[in-house]
Amino acid sequence: MYLPHEAKKPFEITEFFSAFEHHCDSSYSFEGEFHNFWEILILTEGELCTSEDDRVYTLKKNQIIFHKPNSFHNLQAASEIVKYVVISFNVFGNYMKRFENKILTLSDEELLYVNSILRMFSAENLDPKAMKITKFLKIMGNKPILYHRFTNYMELLLISLSENDMSSSNLVDNEETRIYKKAVNTLEEKIFSNISVDGLAKECNISTSQLKRIFSKYTGIGIHEYFLQLKILYAKKLLANGMSVTEVAERMSFSSQNYFSVVFKRKVGISPQQYKNKK
């Protein structure tokens, strides 16, 4: 008598949002962002400086960093030639937590999976300098067998990384990053109220101009813009948990419901009421 046994998978990728290779020089920087899905960045050549929330890391060749959902992250080239791969996706399973706040060095086996992915990019004649974020996925959408192969490479990479935790902190710890950490933590503490840039500088015990320079260096955006993005991230959670638009606008200390709705639509693409109904 044959009995069924459930095939339990620690990682099951359900959808992709981007998949591309990018080449750049030392002048390149990427403005920071939040999004609600996982993203990996694999450095194949050169050196990068990347931040996630209040931490700043140095990424070296053949290392990978995982940006968890709803975390702020950006990057800056730190060498003359930089090549990296970015793949963003949703994944089912609770094993992903083991990758949070880590930089991993790829083993020979893992490099084989990465090179297999790169060969798939090159087979479609994609220009890495053009950074066509969705082009590869659109091409794969018409080739289900290749899409399946791409997904398998990614899942095999995750499985291997979870079994061989070759992690290193690579945290950048200096006066500037400590000030940056203090600024980000203060903004999170003040998320349900408001704080001016001058007030934040006073909290960090430095001048406003110094704070603006440091914040721009590690985020690529201004302090006010970062704070707004952070507020909208929290607002989405409150709306999803059943709060009304009026209640959320008041809870997040926006000057009016109308201003909250304008900012929310600019950041999310739909109105807060549409977002609430959708959720």
Each residue's pLDDT tens digit, 104-113: 999 999 999 9
Beta partners for 21? 85
Model confidence at 135, pLDDT cuts 50, 70, 90, reads confident
pLDDT (tens digit per residue) in 139-185: 888 889 999 999 999 999 999 998 876 666 678 889 999 999 999 99
User: Could you give the strand order of the β-sheet that contains 73-77, starting from the edge strand earlier in sequence?
Assistant: 29-33, 73-77, 47-52, 55-60
pTM for this predicted structure: 0.84
Beta partners for 166? none
C-alpha 79, offset from chain centre: 22
Lowest mean pLDDT among 40-49, 130-139, 256-265: 130-139
Rounded Cα gap, residues 105 and 64, in angstroms:
6
* 261 or 102, greater pLDDT: 261
What's the confidence (pLDDT) of residue 1?
76
pLDDT (tens digit per residue) in 224-267: 999 999 999 999 999 989 999 999 999 999 999 999 999 999 98
Beta partners for 168? 103
Q: Taking every pair of C-alpha atoms in the chain, what is the biggest distance, in angstroms?
A: 76
Average pLDDT over residues 33-57: 93
CB atoms within 10 A of CB 73: 21
Q: Where are the alpha helices (DSSP H) in 125-196?
A: 135-141, 144-163, 175-189
Contact 41, 86 (CB under 8 A): yes
Rounded Cα gap, residues 32 and 15, in angstroms:
22
Q: Give the containing element (helix H, strand E) for 102.
A: none
What's the confidence (pLDDT) of residue 171?
82
Contact 239, 272 (CB under 8 A): yes
CB atoms within 10 A of CB 258: 10
Rounded Cα gap, residues 265 and 206, in angstroms:
34
**Which two tokens mark 63?**
């290392």
Contacts of 182 (CB under 8 A, 6+ apart): 203, 204
Residue type, 95: Y
Q: Which residue has the tokens 């607002």?
A: 235
| DSSP-based three-state secondary structure for 26 | coil
Answer yes or no: is pLDDT of 101 > 70: yes
Answer yes or no: is pLDDT of 6 > 90: no
What's the confidence (pLDDT) of residue 159?
92
